[in-house]
Amino acid sequence: MMTKELRRRNVKISRNAPSLLGVKPEKQKSSMTKYVITAAAVTVVMLIFAYFRYQMFLRERVKTPLYAPTMLAKDSTLPNKEPGRFWGSYRPHTYFGMRTRSPSSPVMGLMWLNQQTRQMPPPIRHWCDQGDGLPKYGWLKHDGVKFGTQEIVDTDFTLTTDFIKRPGGNHGGDWTARISAQPHQNVPGTIKLVSLMFYVALDGQGLLEPIISKTGNRINSINGYSEELGNFKLSFPKSSSNTTYRHSYLATQASGLDKLKDSLMNGIRVEAWDRSRQTPYYVLGGRQVPRDGVVNFLTYQVTAELPFEMEVTFESGSFVDRPEKLTGEVFDALLQQHSLNFDEKFEDKFQLKSKGFSESQIDFAKAALSNMVGSVGYFYGPSLVQSVHNAEPVRYWNAALYTGVPSRSFFPRGFLWDEGFHNLLISKWDAEISKDILSHWLDLMNTEGWIPREQILGVEARARVPDEFVVQKNENANPPTLILPLQRLIKDMLHSNKESDKKFLSAVFPRLKAWFQWYNTTQVGSKPFTYRWKGRDSTGNRELNPKTLTSGLDDYPRASHPTDDEYHIDLRCWMALASGLIADIAESLGLDGREYKATHQLLTNNGLLDQLHWSDKKQQYSDYGLHTDKVRLERPKPPPNLQPGQRPPQMNMDKIRMVLAEPQKGFVNAFGYVSLFPLLLKIVEPSSPKLMRILSDMRSEKHIWTDYGLRSLGQSTVMYNRYNTEHDPPYWRGAIWINMNYLALSALDYYKSSPGPYKQQAEDLYTELRNNLINNIYKQYQQTGYIWENYNDKTGEGKGCHPFTGWSALVTLIMAEIYE
Ligand SMILES: *[C@@H]1O[C@H](CO)[C@@H](O)[C@H](O)[C@H]1NC(C)=O
Ligand SMILES: *[C@@H]1O[C@H](CO)[C@@H](O)[C@H](O)[C@H]1NC(C)=O
């Protein structure tokens, strides 16, 4: 074969030979040159083309979806596939709002105003806002699917918003909402006048047509149409009050869903229909667009003396054999039924009665769960993302996200690492909701295996985020906490033969692998099997300790001088957890998971862990890096040769960090949540003497023990409670956070039931810590009306934003002692 090939070539050469040696050498030469030049030119063009193609490929990568089947079919949330969860209170940023799980759903919601106000313009409540200063609000009961009951306490009256859904037809069925308002005190001779305003707004598609009463002020109903809802009718059948009330409405055009309140304010006018009053009334001014103009925002207003209530019914056009209207007594009876079912299911799942909790404590736990489930939102739109290959941020693909939110007032959108904790609770209440949420998140993965950590989808979400936090960078990680609920959900699936379970596992497997590979290649340290949170700023001089936002623990102190050589214990533990789960799934599916198994064994090997992360000197698990504790924030000194009368420019400048001692490579001197990670994720062996050491340090008040839960950073640590810049107060430097305390209890529960010498110690700590947490979170809720973002380690008081019924709602699982 070889020779044949050679011969053929020889023949070719010899055939060409005469002309090469050629008759017309000149011409031959020039055509050769031409050929070479052409070839070179073509090559250059091709190279340039290839280069640009490659550059384009690099730029596109960040916004290219992972090449693997998606978890969810494209239409999986639509009413023909999932009618039960189509409608919902999926607008957690509003006090009360409804929408569907379709991309450009019409939205509906409540605004209200106290007619007694003397403020101009009158304060109108709409989006949850701490500035409104409401004494309390939140869901008391909400099952995530069929109904919800919410109480909203305003300064001198209380609103109750109840809704019930009713299946029927082909478009997700009907629902009715009832809003009632009760004055706090019925002082004879005083009246309380309040306006409730219920609106519907279109998101770019559909039609709205109000049916106005003969008197010309009352909207009796609204006929509407949209792609996914077909024909529908919204009516306002009943608004009862013992005293006169007044109706008005607004029909106008809003420029966007984020501008509804502005549009409404523009349509308000001041009227005096009752001359005895000192202040005028605020009423909506009717139709604001010409007869032939387009109305995309309609609001019904009823103004009445308290107490009163109104109902809103949504009826789907395709629901033809409706038994009776879902209003009045029919509504009452159904609400009571749902409420009883909720109570039964709650006791069945969490068993708080049998654990001896009081009625009031159980109501608190129900509220915590209901707010977690009832704040689940549905968002749609593109993230803004950027990689090193993009000069400017680019749009991610238009994506849907069904997700819990940390806080309705402050963080009403999806956060990657919060969501893992949220679903520890949600999955215990309704595993189907959790699987749906986790699937939405995993489908956000790009071709690199990256998931943007903060999801700001749609104009309403975007309106609440300062510009500097909008763009998500693809170098940045966030703890892969989705592993936590997945582990629990999957536990029951691993040995199941159900088709749906196998399907879920098969879909989740390639996504988890891609996700793992992204961390295992981009977030590694310079030593083998070490991991590093990328994205710390090593060049600035403002921060006392450069933040590690990606770790989720923001300002928790790490190496003072970020370098490529540092490595982080918490990320290593997350990786151990993730590799273990993937290995288990592989085994269950009969696929090859050996590499994951090997990685898991390596990452959980206590000998290796100790070599890399155990500080003998401090007797604790630690990060490693270039570090010094001797740093201080100082105002820059004025220059020495200042002219007389000249103002030193630096005096107006921010303080900067002074480094008072040369940083050294070694273990980072800090004790807090990060040092606990090998315990938190159950990686320390139950027999390890290191476990004893961690347990005693946990109980030490000098470190992290308090009467209200474990504080994030030990009082013995230099950085404890320190500002990170002049303007940046401590966040994870002392405060008590409930997600980490939940993990601690879960770990203690594991160590107290595993054979070993420290069983008893773990058990004692467990009991005490659990009581401390429950007592304090409950007490703060009673006193302030809210569950909080975190708690003060000195006083137990709620801190940060509120309501925060994301991971702080894990208190329900703590009461129920559910850790698996
Ligand atoms: C009307 O007044 C009566 C008697 O004062 C009271 O029982 C009833 O609840 C009131 N109705 C409403 C709708 O507030
Ligand atoms: C993770 O990365 C290390 C180092 O490159 C490699 O040895 C290991 O096999 C990887 N693990 C998996 C599961 O890919």
**For ligand 1, atom 13: residue with the closest CA:** 241
- Residue 170 Cβ inside 6 Å of ligand 1? The answer reads no
Decide: helix, strand or coil at residue 567.
Answer: strand
The Å distance, Cα 110 to ligand 1 centre, comes to: 24
Phi, psi dihedral angles at 793 (to 5 degrees) = -80, -10
- 795 CB near ligand 1 (under 6 Å): no
Residue 242: CB within 6 Å of ligand 1?
yes
**Which of the following is catalytic: 454, 584, 789, 793?**
789
Nearest CA to ligand 1 atom 7: 242
Residue nearest to atom 11 of ligand 1 (CA): 242
Supply the residue whose CA is at minimum distance from atom 1 of ligand 2: 520
Q: Ligand 1: distance of its center to the CA of 429 in Å?
A: 38
Specify whether 595 is catalytic: no
Mutate to test the pocket of ligand 1, among 242, 245, 306 (most ligand atoms within 8 A of CB): 242
Q: 592 alpha carbon to ligand 2 midpoint, in Å?
A: 14
Q: Closest Cα to atom 10, ligand 1: which residue?
A: 242
Name the phi and psi angles at 107, rounded to 5.
-115, 150
Quote the ligand 2 centre to 256 CA distance (angstroms).
48
Task: Say if ligand 1 is within 6 A of residue 358 CB.
Answer: no
pLDDT attached to residue 134: 97
Q: Which helix or strand (DSSP H or E) is residue 540 part of? A: none
Ligand 2 pocket test, candidate residues 512, 520, 604, most atoms within 8 A of CB = 520
Tell me what pLDDT residue 12 has.
39
Give the DSSP H or E segment for 632.
strand 631-634
Instruction: Please tell me the residue having the least CA distance from ligand 1 atom 8.
Output: 242
Q: What is the pLDDT of residues 106-164, one digit of tens each?
A: 999 999 999 988 787 889 999 999 999 999 999 999 999 999 999 999 988 999 999 99
Report how far residue 250's alpha carbon sits from residue 198's, in angstroms, rounded to the nearest whole number: 10
Task: Looking at the CA of 581, name the nearest ligand.
Answer: 2
Ligand 2, atom 6, residue with closest C-alpha: 599
Q: Read off the tokens for 186.
A: 């019925």
DSSP label at 84?
Answer: G
Q: Is 789 known to be catalytic?
A: yes
Residue 16 has pLDDT above 80, yes or no: no
- Please say whether the beta carbons of 399 and 414 come within 8 A: no
Among the atoms of ligand 2, which is closest to the Cα of residue 582? 13
- Hey, is 149 helix, strand or coil? strand
Ligand number, closest to the Cα atom of 240: 1
- The values of phi and psi at residue 789, to 5°, are -65, -45
How does strand 414-415 pair with strand 454-455? Answer: antiparallel
**Measured distance CA(171)–CA(190) in Å, rounded:** 46
Burial (CB count <10 Å: 0-12, 13-18, 19+), residue 660: exposed
641 CB-contact burial (10 Å; exposed 0-12 / middle 13-18 / buried 19+):
exposed
Q: Which of the ligands is closest to the CA of residue 596?
A: 2
**Which homologous superfamily is 83-348 in?**
Glycosyl hydrolase family 63, N-terminal domain (2.70.98.110)
Which ligand is the nearest neighbour of the Cα of 518? 2
Closest ligand to the CA of 595: 2
Q: What residue's CA is closest to ligand 1, atom 14?
A: 307
Q: For residues 566 and 196, what is the distance between their CA atoms, to the nearest angstrom?
A: 57
Mutate to test the pocket of ligand 2, among 524, 595, 603, 608 (most ligand atoms within 8 A of CB): 595
| Ligand 2 site, CB within 6 A | 520, 579, 595-596, 599
| pLDDT tens readout for residues 521-575 | 999 999 999 999 999 999 989 999 999 999 999 999 999 999 999 999 999 999 9
pLDDT at 179 over 80: yes
Q: Is 240 in the pocket of ligand 1 (CB under 6 A)?
A: yes
**What is the position in ligand 1's atom list of the atom closest to the CA of 307?**
14
- Element (H or E) spanning 522, and its range? helix 499-522
- CA angle at 198 for the pair 259 and 133, rounded to the nearest 5°: 70
Q: Whose CA is nearest to atom 5 of ligand 1?
A: 242
186 in contact with ligand 1, CB cutoff 6 A:
no
Kindly indicate the confidence band of residue 20, based on its pLDDT and cuts at 50, 70 and 90: very low
Q: How many helices (H) and strands (E) does the chain have?
A: 18, 33
DSSP 732-754: SSS-B-HHHHHHHHHHHHHHHHS
Give the predicted TM-score (pTM) of the model: 0.93
Measured in Å, residue 184 CA sits from the centre of ligand 1 at: 15
Spatial separation of the C-alpha atoms in residues 288 and 267, rounded to whole Å: 7
Residue type, 522: T
Do 711 and 698 touch, CB atoms closer than 8 A?
Answer: no
Q: Of the ligands numbered here, which is closest to the C-alpha atom of 308?
A: 1
List helix spans (H) across 239-358.
260-266, 328-350
Pair type for strands 136-142 and 239-241: unpaired
Helix orientation angle between 673-680 and 689-698, rounded to the nearest 10 degrees: 130
CB atoms within 10 A of CB 737: 23
Looking at residue 244, what is its pLDDT? Answer: 61
User: How many whole angstroms from 513 Cα to the centroid of ligand 2?
Assistant: 11
Angle at 223 between CA 220 and CA 228, to 5 degrees: 145
Q: How confident is the model at residue 189 (pLDDT cuts 50, 70, 90)?
A: low
Give pLDDT, residue 373: 98
Q: Are 471 and 34 in contact (CB under 8 A)?
A: no
Alpha-helical runs (H) found in 529-653: 569-589, 594-604, 606-613
DSSP structural state of residue 127: B
Q: Give me 298's structure tokens.
A: 């309609």
Residue with CA at minimum distance from ligand 2 atom 13: 596
Judged by its nearest atom, the ligand closest to the C-alpha of residue 582 is 2
Structure tokens at 400: 């849907």
Distance in Å, CA 242 to ligand 1 centroid: 6
Residue 250 tokens read as 């607004």
Residue 791: its H or E element: strand 790-791
Q: What is the C-alpha separation between 733 and 226, in angstroms, rounded? A: 50
Q: Say how many Å lie between the first and final Cα of the chain, rounded.
A: 66
Ligand 2 centroid to Cα of residue 422, in Å, is 29
Residue 648: its pLDDT value, please? 62
Rounded-to-integer distance, Cα 513 and Cα 519, Å: 10
Q: Which tokens sit at 296?
A: 């995309």
* Ligand 1 proximity of 307 Cβ (cutoff 6 Å): yes
For the range 580-584, what are the long-range contacts, defined as Cβ-Cβ under 8 Å and sequence gap of 24 or more? 580/604, 581/483, 581/486, 581/487, 581/490, 581/512, 582/509, 582/512, 582/513, 582/516, 584/490, 584/494
Proportion of the chain above pLDDT 90, given as a percent = 83
Residue 23 has pLDDT above 70, yes or no: no
Residues 688, 679: contact at Cβ < 8 Å? no
Contact 666, 698 (CB under 8 A): no
The CA distance from 408 to 130, in Å, is 10
Atom of ligand 2 nearest to the CA of 579: 13
Does 46 have pLDDT greater than 60? yes
| Ligand 1 atom at minimal distance to the Cα of residue 241 | 13
Query: What span, in angstroms and rounded, lies between the C-alpha atoms of 180 and 238?
Result: 11
> Residue 632: what are its φ and ψ, rounded to 5°?
-150, 150
How far, in Å, from the CA of 520 to the mean position of ligand 2? 6
Q: Which atom of ligand 1 is nearest to the CA of 240?
A: 13
Q: Which helix (H) or strand (E) holds 519?
A: helix 499-522
**Residue pair 760/699 in contact by the 8 Å Cβ criterion:** no
241 CA distance to ligand 1 middle (Å) = 7
β-pair partners for 226: 230
Task: Please write the tens of the pLDDT for every residue from 367-421.
Answer: 999 999 999 999 999 999 999 999 999 999 999 999 999 999 999 999 999 999 9
Cα three-residue angle 815-818-820, rounded to 5 degrees:
160
Q: Tell me what pLDDT residue 391 has.
A: 94
Residues 790 and 401 sit within 8 Å (Cβ to Cβ):
no
CB distance 693 to 648 below 8 Å: no
Is residue 27 scored above 90 in pLDDT?
no
Q: Do 718 and 783 touch, CB atoms closer than 8 A?
A: no
The pair of three-digit structure tokens given for residue 515, joined into one six-digit string: 């996700």
Tokens read off for 297: 């925002």
**Residue of 151, 363, 554, 565 marked catalytic:** 554
- Tell me the CA–centroid distance for residue 522 and ligand 2, in Å: 12
Nearest to 453 by CA among 389, 390, 538, 519: 519
Residues 765-818: tens digit of each pLDDT: 999 999 999 999 999 999 999 999 999 999 999 999 999 999 999 999 999 999
CA distance 255 to 257: 7
pLDDT digits (tens, 9 = 90+) for 618-662: 999 999 999 999 999 998 877 777 676 666 665 667 899 999 999
CA of 309 to the centre of ligand 1 (A): 11
